[in-house]
Amino acid sequence: MFCGKGGVGKTTSAAATALHYAMNGDKTLIISTDFTPSLRDIFEIDSLEKPARVTDNLFLDEISYDAVKVLWDRKFGPQVYDLFSTFVDIDYQDFVGYVATMLPGIRDEFMVDYIREISESGEYQRVVWDTAPAGQTLGLLRMPSMMNHHLKPAFKIYSSLKSTHNLKRSVLGVIKDWEQLSEKDMAFLRQEVQFNLVTIAEALAVRQLRDIFDEFGSYGLGINHIVINQVIEDADSPFLRRKAQLQQKYLAEVENGYGTGCTRVPLFPYEIKGLERLKEVERKLFGS
Ligand SMILES: Nc1ncnc2c1ncn2[C@@H]1O[C@H](COP(=O)(O)OP(=O)(O)O)[C@@H](O)[C@H]1O
Ligand SMILES: [Mg+2]
């Protein structure tokens, strides 16, 4: 998974990484959970197929919040609605609308669940996950453990409900299912996902790193690698020399401050689009 602040190069790094695995012969999926995804743009793919084929073993998909709502509805909607409608008089569309607006966390949880299912399906040898800017991504990671936290009192409330035995049993059954799902998703994040934090050598971005590390830590998750993007290498003008010098301090801070492996990617003098350009980034990320 690639995370970090907006515009630092998450999608570019994720795309180059997916290309790396695919070139090594692994069947690879690159999937974005950003609501304003740009993967198709970077790979110059017009096909709207889901997933779209980029090369022989590289596939691309993008998943929007609305798509997640539809998937959630399909997987859990009827089951939860059946229960709900035994004690509340509500029609189905209102119910799904309620769930989507009042409980937005459910969509975050479901997004993680969706990635876990793809990963566990065995369809791909590598899944590269490109995410939205840090705030939204942290919300995503927070959800599974938060859901679990919220479900604990729900269990108590429903088990003391003065209702018919059967209804009580099925409500408790659904809550149990959801607890297990949350635990599975959290275990997936802890055990199966490698987290790559992308940053640039600038004050604001570097200042946010500590907070991101701390937030990850609070869910028992760790950052496995840092990509420092847009590093100025060949400074051939006074302007670039000054920029490069400014970067030095932040480079040292990131590379010495976190005990995490770091990779520098240079600032290229062009837009990174298409396979040839992405291969240049790939070489910087993985060495020749
Ligand atoms: N090393 C780089 N050199 C030059 N341009 C870059 C570099 N990395 C990213 N870019 C450009 O910066 C913009 C934002 O990159 P992107 O990967 O979409 O960021 P994010 O996904 O973090 O929002 C894109 O136009 C991309 O081409
Ligand atoms: Mg992006």
Residue 10 near ligand 1, beta carbon < 6 Å: yes
Q: Could you tell me the CATH number of the domain that includes residue 199?
A: 3.40.50.300
Q: Whose CA is nearest to atom 15 of ligand 1?
A: 9
Does the structure show a pLDDT above 90 at 149? no
Q: Which of these ranges, 24-28, 71-75, 180-184, has the smallest mean pLDDT?
A: 71-75
Q: Other CB atoms closer than 10 Å to residue 35's CB: what's the count?
A: 12
Domain hosting residue 142, numbered range: 2-286
Residue 197 near ligand 1, beta carbon < 6 Å: no
For residues 140 and 112, the answer to whether their CB atoms sit within 8 Å is yes
Number of the ligand 1 atom closest to the C-alpha atom of 231 = 1
**pTM summary value:** 0.89
Residue 37 near ligand 1, beta carbon < 6 Å: no
User: Mind listing the pLDDT tens digit for each residue in 90-137?
Assistant: 787 787 777 666 565 666 777 888 899 999 999 999 999 998 876 677
Given ligand 1 and candidates 129, 272, 279, 285, which is best to mutate, with the most ligand atoms within 8 Å of its CB?
272
For residues 196 and 11, the answer to whether their CB atoms sit within 8 Å is no
User: Mind listing the pLDDT tens digit for each residue in 221-247?
Assistant: 999 999 999 999 999 999 999 999 999
User: Mind listing the pLDDT tens digit for each residue in 31-67?
Assistant: 998 877 789 999 999 988 889 999 999 999 988 777 7
User: Mind listing the pLDDT tens digit for each residue in 168-217?
Assistant: 777 778 778 878 888 898 899 999 999 999 999 999 999 999 989 998 89
What is residue 92's predicted lDDT score, i.e. its pLDDT?
79
Residue 199 near ligand 1, beta carbon < 6 Å: no
Residue 272 near ligand 1, beta carbon < 6 Å: yes
Identify the residue with better confidence: 73 or 118. Answer: 118
Number of the ligand 1 atom closest to the C-alpha atom of 230 = 1
In the block, which residue shows the tokens 């989507």? 100
Interhelix angle 104-121/65-75, rounded to 10 degrees, is 80
Residue 39 near ligand 1, beta carbon < 6 Å: no
Q: What total of structural domains would you count in the chain?
A: 1
What is residue 132's predicted lDDT score, i.e. its pLDDT?
81
